[in-house]
Amino acid sequence: MQPFSSAISDMNKLSPHSQKQQLKQEIWFHGSVSRAEAESMLTRDGDFLVRESQGSPGQYVLTGMNNSTPKHLLLIDPEGVVRTKDRVFDSVSHLVNHHCDNVLPIISADSVLVLRYPIPRRTNN
């Protein structure tokens, strides 16, 4: 039997496969692009995208522009839970869409990001 808090946190986790499938539906998800590529797509404060971490498999990075400086925030904690400092989310999509829809800043130890302008992923035509 798990402690109550562990059981609750397990309910807030999507499997890695489900997480990726859900993200593929989001225009702001760019898959496996490098940090440098992601930064080159940002032109103004409020621009953002989500990408797969190249250094940590299964991890996703929110890359956004604040005060003309690119910022990179990891979105899944070491226990596999999608969270910000104040709240746990069902998925990366839920976290990003919640902050976009409500124009709420994401605050981390040394960064504040307001998600205003999603950078659409390039499509192969």
pLDDT of 43 over the 60 cut: yes
User: pLDDT category, 12, cuts 50, 70, 90?
Assistant: low
pLDDT of 42 over the 70 cut: yes
Could you read off the pLDDT of 52-78 as tens digits, one per residue?
A: 998 888 899 999 999 999 999 999 888
Could you read off the pLDDT of 22-39 as tens digits, one per residue?
A: 899 999 999 999 999 999
Contact 83, 77 (CB under 8 A): yes
pLDDT of 112 over the 50 cut: yes
- 16-118 CATH, one of 3.30.505.10, 1.10.443.10, 3.30.2350.10, 1.10.600.10: 3.30.505.10
Euclidean distance between CA atoms 50 and 2, whole angstroms: 32
